[in-house]
Structure 1
């Protein structure tokens, strides 16, 4: 059931995307009204009808447009604020601040995925050097006799906003990238360009809270939720060509998994 349009007149103005006209509510549904509102707002943000910077106004205006109580609207908005999609600004109201990057699980780099989604990936190189490999690092690269390793650390951003802190070890000599190459291209692009035939990877995904260092690099608050990923990548000979450990802003990033039915 569509909500009736809000009052109109010469003193009433609406944003380009008016929730009072776009959102459909069903009071008879078992789905709570606040969730119906947040779900439809979320969909509008994800598909671009509500781009970053779009204003929804304040809670009083939204409640009037949707013919809902202010606490119901507040709960709907807070759900999306908690997800990092909306922000409340004094004197402005509720505003879209960002959309999440949804990354499929496949043998690709974040740089590749952002570029494939039409984004403009950017990198800040923090570390790019060759250093001694201790026993732990040699173990991660499954090369007990390894003595030297290339260490990389970068902050990956899109649209000027940091998304992830990327750390990698590579056996020395696999590639020798300059800082400019690391800023302009993804790690897997550089490996493939060097003739490395990537074959498979083992990956673990987890979560933790942001440290003060994480928060400073990623533009988050200390204690904010972060996704973590550890990945070991093999070439077609079975050699480990890189080990990565990365952290991603949970407010801006998700992993998509495809599941299939196993043997019965």
Structure 2
């Protein structure tokens, strides 16, 4: 008896993905980067259902040929979708649209909120607050032009009057003004939510290093050991709303996470 012939898989350029992508026309006259335009176009297609969960997107070389843009532009747009948990990239398989999260959204919490839940009394000293020209790194992460104004906030966070973290945050200029009084009395995320900006997902890089003498003195860290956390936070529309560089006193702070095998 002859064996049944397996169903041929759809190629990456068939169906909805090709329709959605051929509808993208980059605007080269606007200051908005093309990779941001492409990422936004795909985000909207995913949100509307035009790109259904499981849809396989074309490879980078195919996208370069289809759209007439550079490979680095494609790579940055796709990384934006990965960062906002809209697609997953698998070596040897490609980039697929992820299904929506149906269990519950992961709620970001600030250190202020974490300390409150732990039964500690958080206080804040504002060390610097104001608009400043964006460095190349901050501009890249916030997707603004280099040297354009961004809001810089430097805070010393204390728990029961003991220093625990030295936190530097950069936000897009449109999220200003934020006052020292607001920063001293509540969490940054609460302030953003009050502006109808909803922190939704963040990428974190955790590291460790020795403190400079000034940092060790500010944090009153006798071991001079610091836990470092670099973070980019996105809102529920996929927009980068915060770049954070946080230094934690290693003797008084630790990160805990649950790991799930998938």
1:107 alignment partner, SS class: coil
Quick one: distance in 2 between partners of 1:247 and 1:133? 20
Quick one: distance in 1 between partners of 2:116 and 2:253? 15
Cross-structure match for 1:196? 197
Does residue 1:127 correspond to 2:128, yes or no? Answer: yes
Deviations, residues 222-258 of structure 1 (Å, cap 9, x unaligned): x621100001000111110000000101100110110
CA contact (8 A) 2:107 2:200 kept: no
Cross-structure match for 2:73? none
Cross-structure match for 1:229? 229
Quick one: distance in 1 between partners of 2:232 and 2:126? 21
Cross-structure match for 1:151? 152
1:143 alignment partner, SS class: coil
**After TM superposition, where is structure 1 displaced by more than 6 Å over at least 4 residues in a row?**
none
TM-score (norm 1): 0.57
Inter-CA distance 176–164: structure 2 relative to 1 (3 Å threshold) = same
Q: CA deviation at 1:145?
A: 6.7
Cross-structure match for 1:8? none
Q: CA deviation at 1:131?
A: 1.5
Does residue 1:238 correspond to 2:238, yes or no? Answer: yes
CA contact (8 A) 1:175 1:194 kept: no
Who wins on radius of gyration, i.e. which is larger? Answer: 1
Cross-structure match for 1:110? 111
Quick one: distance in 2 between partners of 1:238 and 1:145? 21
Correspondence 1:76-225 to 2 at 5 A: 107-144=108-145, 147-221=148-222, 224-225=224-225
Cross-structure match for 2:59? none
209-218 or 137-146: which moved more?
137-146
Inter-CA distance 157–200: structure 2 relative to 1 (3 Å threshold) = same
Quick one: distance in 2 between partners of 1:232 and 1:173? 17
Deviations, residues 151-204 of structure 1 (Å, cap 9, x unaligned): 010000011100000000001121311111100011111111111022111001
Q: CA deviation at 1:261?
A: 1.7
CA contact (8 A) 2:130 2:151 kept: yes
Deviations, residues 94-124 of structure 1 (Å, cap 9, x unaligned): xxxxxxxxxxx96211001001112110000
Unpaired segments ≥5 residues, structure 1: 1-104
Unpaired segments ≥5 residues, structure 2: 1-105
1:254 alignment partner, SS class: coil
Inter-CA distance 251–149: structure 2 relative to 1 (3 Å threshold) = same
CA RMSD between the two structures: 1.7
Inter-CA distance 106–196: structure 2 relative to 1 (3 Å threshold) = closer
Inter-CA distance 145–211: structure 2 relative to 1 (3 Å threshold) = closer
TM-score (norm 2): 0.57
Number of residue pairs matched by the alignment: 157
